[in-house]
Amino acid sequence: MDAIQRFEGGFLLTNAYLLSTPGGGHLLIDAPADTAQWLTQNDIKPLALLLTHQHFDHVMDTAAIAAMGVPIYSWNAYSTQLTAEDIVKQWGMPMSVAPYSVDHELAGQEMLEIDGLKLELAHVPGHSPDSVTFHDRERNILISGDTLFNGSTGRGDLPGGDLQLLCQGIVEKIYSLPGETKVYPGHGPDTTVAAERVGNGVIRA
């Protein structure tokens, strides 16, 4: 089984990731639309769902996955302010996120261990106030959510956003990681810390 698998769902082509654990289980990170169906088709019930942040496109299937008996981990408790669904409705896109409960709030924590898998947590606000990255140091894997993309960064103009704060957090908390660290973002292809240090025009600007 690969250390990491990717699923892309929803109209914004949002990435979900499945990490294998030393104990033989899986951790799911983010839950775009149709993630629950993908899990069912592959006969996988993850040990936990970890949310990089709660913007609507990353949590559309969270309630469905919680109904499978999967505990939900997020930096903060669920709120419609964090899901930003009201903003999307203003764009003329009729949608709604099924409410869910966060079982484990991660705010203030720097480490999480589930089934033998140790993940280092870094709070990197600026795209969303609750944005958190998950770093598997042993396997050089970083799940960055919508903080850092391949050649770009998350938006800073959504409610609670601040592009300068986001860029500062990326430099301090992501660029400080080993260059060979593989970065798996919330949208688009993967990259590495070394490649982004050199080639990310948003941060350089």
Which domains, from first to last, does the chain contain?
4-200 (3.60.15.10)
Give the pLDDT of residue 1: 57
85-124 pLDDT tens trace: 877 777 777 678 999 999 999 999 999 999 999 999 999 9
- Residue recorded with tokens 């951790």: 27
74-88 pLDDT tens trace: 999 999 999 988 777
Q: What is the mean pLDDT of residues 175-204?
A: 96
Residue 137 pLDDT class (50, 70, 90 cuts): very high
Residue 10 has pLDDT above 80, yes or no: yes
Residue 205 pLDDT class (50, 70, 90 cuts): confident
